[in-house]
Amino acid sequence: MSLKPLLPGNPSVNSGQQTTLGVLGGGQLGRMFVQAAQAMGYFTVVLDPDPASPAGLVSHHHIRTAYDDEQGLAQLQQRCDAITTEFENVPAHALATLAAQRPVAPSAACVAVAQDRVKEKAHFEQCAPLSGVAPAPHAVITTDASLNAVPADLLPGILKTARMGYDGKGQVRVSTREELAAAWDGLDKVTCVLEKMLKLRAECSVIVARGADGQVVSFPVQKNTHRDGILALTEVFDGALDATLAQRAQASTVAIANHLRYVGVLCVEYFVVEDAGGSLDLVVNEMAPRPHNSGHYTQNACDLSQFEAQVRALAGLPLPTPRQHSPAIMVNLLGDLWFEPNAVRAQASRQPVSPPWAAVLALPGTHLHLYGKLGARPGRKMGHLNVTGSSVAQVRATTAQALALLGLPGLDA
């Protein structure tokens, strides 16, 4: 990837157009990348097969083809000066094809690691001597023989498919060898990773941005709450997580990015676990080669959002260290809100009804971000609410009010 910066508004590969940045994938992360790029003066192109994709609806150009369509990729190459992706399950070979002609960040090799839990765990283990943070004890299951060879001390555990798992999908909790065998059979005996179940005390994540010149900057550590395998809340402020653990998580994430020679925005998720002696420790869980749901608070609480950082890393612009100016809590908004919890809605014909946004936005420090998705359905990520304020107490109080208005569980639920 060239170290020469792609400045907005400059002549580009596109005759008569401004510098153009492309993104594979048209979801909400692509939409917010496009909006950040456009705010800085770039033209944008989205490749996504969905004609109503959130990113495609706001981009200058929308190429409506499959991610591995040769003609679509050729169009993306022709229109763009540099290209990124907004989700890890884009075909890595498509990124490799694009990289033959244009700067692509992150690289196909980095995305391929994030797509496969086996490769991901191996990478984390390689980084452990440098980062001081290792993955959970685990075993790779590919055959009946490897299934039978699983050490007894890995049970109870969580069986996870090596590929295509996200938001809790492709995961089964197992307590015995019989349950393990049945679960693997239920997953069609695809390659899996069995992780030992640890005593979980908290979850957190760290987002870093790394440039092609090797410069790395880190956002604050984010404390995350998941419900049913989907992120529900992210809290970011002093005291949300033990300071020593937070520093270790940041250092570990930088080490992981450097070891991959990563370029772009990277999120690494961690478990805070309790050992047999009652002490807390960190375990690295997984990584996402893109901006992350847990980093959405940066749009309103930091002087540099994760999406602007993604634009800067892709374009080769300087990466200043992000500064958080306000305590923040991010609330994930799922499609369930359009149907529940109002009893009147539940008794109706299950037609979606808009949540009480006016009441929520009357609260000080609330910032609503909806993704432009045309249909709400339970479990679908429809948007997020960032809450900022001058103090942690104020942010928590406002968030509690917003959650009550939306009928969502409280902060400590």
Task: Provide the pLDDT for residue 131.
Answer: 85
Please determine whether the domains at 20-104 and 200-406 fall in the same fold group of CATH.
Answer: no
Print burial letters for 142-176: b (CB count within 10 Å at least 16), e (below 16). eeeeebeebeeebbebbbbbbeebeeeebbbebee
Binding site annotation covers 178? no
Task: Provide the pLDDT for residue 128.
Answer: 93
For 33-44, what is each residue's pLDDT tens digit?
999 999 999 999
Binding site annotation covers 197? yes
3-state helix/strand/coil string of 131-147: HCCCECCEEEECCHHHH
Task: Provide the pLDDT for residue 277.
Answer: 84
Binding site annotation covers 18? no
Binding site annotation covers 229? no
Binding site annotation covers 177? no
Binding site annotation covers 195? yes
For 316-338, what is each residue's pLDDT tens digit?
999 999 999 999 999 999 999 99
Answer yes or no: is pLDDT of 345 > 70: no
Q: Which of the four pLDDT bands, split at 50, 70 and 90, describes residue 343?
A: very low
Task: Provide the pLDDT for residue 13.
Answer: 57
Task: Provide the pLDDT for residue 347.
Answer: 47
Task: Provide the pLDDT for residue 350.
Answer: 66
Per-residue pLDDT averaged across 53-77, rounded?
Answer: 97
Binding site annotation covers 64? no
Task: Provide the pLDDT for residue 14.
Answer: 55
Task: Provide the pLDDT for residue 165.
Answer: 64
- Which tokens belong to 325? 């100016």
The identity of residue 150, as a single letter, is: V
Binding site annotation covers 297? no
Binding site annotation covers 285? yes
pTM of the model: 0.93
Task: Provide the pLDDT for residue 213.
Answer: 96
Binding site annotation covers 170? yes
Task: Provide the pLDDT for residue 339.
Answer: 85
Q: Which of the four pLDDT bands, split at 50, 70 and 90, describes residue 404?
A: very high
- Residue that the structure tokens 């797509």 belong to: 115
Q: Which of the four pLDDT bands, split at 50, 70 and 90, describes residue 16?
A: low
Task: Provide the pLDDT for residue 164.
Answer: 74
Average pLDDT score, the chain: 93
**CA 204 – CA 226 distance, rounded (Å):** 10
Please name the residues in contact with 394: beta carbons below 8 A apart, sequence gap of 6 or more. 327, 365
20-104 fold? Rossmann fold (3.40.50)
Domain 200-406 homologous superfamily, CATH: ATP-grasp fold, B domain (3.30.470.20)
Which stretch of 23-27, 47-51, 167-171 has the lowest confidence by average pLDDT? 167-171
Please name the residues in contact with 153: beta carbons below 8 A apart, sequence gap of 6 or more. 137, 196
Binding site annotation covers 199? no
Answer yes or no: is pLDDT of 153 > 90: yes
For 137-196, CATH gives 3.30.1490.20
Per-residue pLDDT averaged across 298-308, rounded?
Answer: 98
Binding site annotation covers 198? yes
Task: Provide the pLDDT for residue 413.
Answer: 73
Contacts 24+ apart (CB under 8 A), 362-368: 363/387, 363/398, 363/401, 363/402, 364/389, 364/398, 365/326, 365/389, 365/394, 365/395, 365/398, 366/398, 366/402, 367/299, 367/300
Answer yes or no: is pLDDT of 188 > 60: yes
Answer yes or no: is pLDDT of 299 > 70: yes
Answer yes or no: is pLDDT of 56 > 80: yes
Per-residue pLDDT averaged across 348-369, rounded?
Answer: 89
Per-residue pLDDT averaged across 90-109, rounded?
Answer: 95
Answer yes or no: is pLDDT of 31 > 90: yes
Query: How far from 94 is each of 177, 187, 284, 325, CA to CA, in Å?
Result: 39, 27, 28, 39
Binding site annotation covers 274? no
- Which tokens belong to 33? 């990348």
Answer yes or no: is pLDDT of 176 > 90: yes
Q: Which of the four pLDDT bands, split at 50, 70 and 90, describes residue 341?
A: low
Domain boundaries, the chain: 20-104, 137-196, 200-406
Binding site annotation covers 125? no
Binding site annotation covers 160? yes
Answer yes or no: is pLDDT of 28 > 90: yes
Query: How far from 101 is each of 65, 78, 95, CA to CA, in Å?
Result: 19, 9, 10
Per-residue pLDDT averaged across 103-118, rounded?
Answer: 95
Task: Provide the pLDDT for residue 344.
Answer: 45
